[in-house]
Homo-oligomer: A and B are copies of this chain.
Amino acid sequence: MSAHWLTMMKSYREELWFETKTRRAYLNITQQVEAAVRKSGVQEGLVLVNAMHITASVYINDDEPGLLKDYDRFLEELVPQGATYRHNETGEDNGDAHIKRQLMGREVIVAITGGRLDFGPWEQIFYGEFDGMRRKRVLVKVIGA
């Protein structure tokens, strides 16, 4: 364990932009988040990483191609794109994507320790896209000292 007294609070904000080639996609964005934390200069604090759109997720798990397929199959079987959604009566076609994003989550918070993401051995940050093929954003907000 470790404790620090810090005299000055800093904040830092950055947007990451994505445009996936497929409707659903899973992108490892760990290095972009690490770069933002480095730029912030924060040594001890928290970083919030959240989808700014409501049909996409930010989540933490393993970067293993089979697992990404398992997530995709699980979500599509439980919430099929082609099922009937009241939301789609508005002219949208992404009712499924709003539910998939809810199951995978909007955001993660990662501790910053010694200026780095304080991660276990396999933790990686992913952008999960459920209604892609257009430009969408992720917010990175760092608070600390």
Chain A residues with CB under 8 Å of chain B are 1-15, 36, 39-41, 44-46, 48, 50-54, 59-62, 64-67, 69-71, 73-74, 78-79, 85-90, 95, 98-99, 101-111, 113, 118-123, 137, 139, 141, 143-145
Contact = CB atoms under 8 A, between A and B. Distances in A.
A136 B105 CA distance: 23
Nearest to A52: B120
Contact of A87 (B64, B95, B119): B64
A57 to B, nearest CB: 9
8 contacts: A3-B41, A6-B11, A46-B141, A51-B120, A53-B120, A64-B87, A71-B98, A106-B108
B118 A141 contact: yes
